Amino acid sequence: MENIVPHLAKGRKPVEPEKLIRREPVDPATFKRMIRQMGLKVTQQRLAILETLSGGRAHVTAQEVFETVNGKYPEIGFATVYRFLRKMAEQKLVTEVRMGGLPARYELTPRRHHDHLTCTQCGLIVEFENQIIENLQEQVARAHNFRLTHHVLELYGICPRCQAE
Amino acid sequence: MENIVPHLAKGRKPVEPEKLIRREPVDPATFKRMIRQMGLKVTQQRLAILETLSGGRAHVTAQEVFETVNGKYPEIGFATVYRFLRKMAEQKLVTEVRMGGLPARYELTPRRHHDHLTCTQCGLIVEFENQIIENLQEQVARAHNFRLTHHVLELYGICPRCQAE
DNA sequence: TGCTAATTGACAATCGTTCTCATCTCAAAT
DNA sequence: ATTTGAGATGAGAACGATTGTCAATTAGCA
């Protein structure tokens, strides 16, 4: 059956791994600083979670983080992963990316703000920045006397490779 | 505990009812046409759901639709509501509005496309149109050779009334 | 009016996420 | 180094939204 709610097809063929956006690994010492900065205790679990967030694919679900960390620290519970991700999101150290009704994906908050362009066929995520759009959003909020706190801009479409097929 | 995932506070005071966006009721005969147009059978349940979608608050959750319809037709099951809303969303007759991790809200697809500006304190929803933003989105997609299918633009902030408090 | 596929209601199941609580551990103060 | 207590953890139950299952019902054409 078709799923309309999720903007990504369920039985989709996954995007080629080498196309996934990745980020440079972060120095482990930095992690401790980040955790202390949040006023939290430094634990093995939290370091492992940060390591996972930093090393591989940029946009991961809580489940994916759990599974990866679970490989190294089999005793970890998924509640810990969810809890820490939430804490970090509160402090804006990680950013949630929500695509329709699908599980939330998390990324270490990048220095520069960006939005996402997602392929509904293969799940490819392309990041883009557009300051003009940002400005126009501010303008819209001002016009309605809102104080803007954040926004969600997700574009969905078919990537070049999937169009070709 | 703070909830970061939903972009709306859980224990929020609800928006004043008269501020809720409403739409003009639609002629019942139109409903039958809409249902037939989708290649579906006309049933009391479906008419009641459409009536609910059309009459009151513009943006309603599936649960709210269920409860309203349930008042008139106590035998209705919520599966019927979900099923029909999904069918209509597939056919783009209704549009889903997703705000963070909160339950999806549905509205009869309006003639003119618009996006939403939501108050994270009281849940007030303001609709806005901005053709320039739309154009820029198209431009971004083109720049990455994507064929754009749809987008989600939700702005979140504090409405004037909540700022005043 | 009778037939048949579409639709329904009841409720179980699922999925992502959060809560509970007894146990454990980091790190500040000794 | 040891104590100690707030904070963190793991296991699993609970949760809320949504979807699936299936036998019983119904719309609408012949």
What single string gives the DSSP state of each residue in A92-103? TSEEEE--TTSP
Residue B118 within any structural domain of the chain:
yes
Is residue B10 one of the residues assigned to a domain? no
Number of structural domains (chain A) is 1
- Looking at A18-32, A104-118, B91-105, which range is the least confident one? A18-32
Point out the residue among A4, A128, A137 whose CB comes nearest to the CB of B90.
A4
Instruction: Verify whether the Cβ–Cβ distance A120 to B159 is below 8 Å.
Output: no
**B3-27 b/e with 16+ CB inside 10 Å = b?**
ebeebbeeeeeebeeeebeeeeeee
A11 touches strand D (CB under 7 A): no
Q: Does A50 touch chain B (CB under 8 A)?
A: no
Q: Which nucleotides of C are covered by protein (CB under 7 A)?
A: 6-12, 15-20, 25-27
Rounded Cα distance between A35 and A52, Å, is: 15
Taking the CA of residue A74 and the nearest CA in chain B, the distance in Å comes to 26
More confident residue, A156 or B131: B131
A156, A118 Cβ separation under 8 angstroms = yes
**Can you state the angle between helices B131-143 and A131-143, rounded to 10 degrees?**
160
Round to whole Å and give the CA distance between A141 and B162.
14
**The token pair that represents B24 in the structure block:** 């003009």
Q: What CATH number should be reported for the domain holding residue B131?
A: 3.30.1490.190
- Statement to judge: residues B90 and B146 lie in one domain: no
Asked whether the CA dihedral B128, B134, B135, B137 is positive or negative, the reply is positive
Is residue B2 situated within a structural domain?
no
A11 inside domain? no
User: What's the CATH number where A124 sits?
Assistant: 1.10.10.10
User: In whole numbers, what is the pLDDT of chain A averaged over residues?
Assistant: 86
8 Å CB contact between A101 and B98: yes
Torsion of CA A54, A60, A64, A68, to 10 degrees: -10
**CB of A101 closer than 8 Å to CB of A5:** yes
Read off the pLDDT of residues B19-40 as tens digits, 9 standing for 90 and up: 778 888 788 899 999 999 999 9
Asked if the structure places residue B78 within a domain, the reply is yes
Q: Which residue has the higher pLDDT, A2 or A104?
A: A104
Distance CA A59, CA A107 (A): 5
- DSSP assignment of A47-73 equals HHHHHHHHHSBSSEEHHHHHHHHHHH-
Q: Is A2 on the interface with B (CB under 8 A)?
A: yes
| Cα A110 from Cα A113, distance rounded (Å) | 7
Residue-level pLDDT at A72: 86
Distance in Å from D22's C1' to A31's CA comes to: 53
**Same domain for B20 and B87?**
yes
* Residue range(s) defining the domain that contains residue A94: 17-164
Write out the DSSP string of B71-127. Answer: HH-TT--HHHHHHHHHHHHHTTSEEEE--TTSPPEEEEPPSS--EEEEETTT--EEE
**A104, A97 contact by CB (below 8 A):** yes
Is A107 in contact with A61 (CB distance < 8 Å)? no
User: Does residue B9 lie within any of the structural domains?
Assistant: no
Q: Please classify residue B71 by burial: count the beta carbons closer than 10 Å to its beta carbon, then call 0-12 exposed, 13-18 middle and 19+ buried.
A: exposed
More confident residue, B134 or B10: B134
pLDDT in tens, B109-155: 988 899 999 887 777 889 999 999 999 999 999 999 999 988 889 89
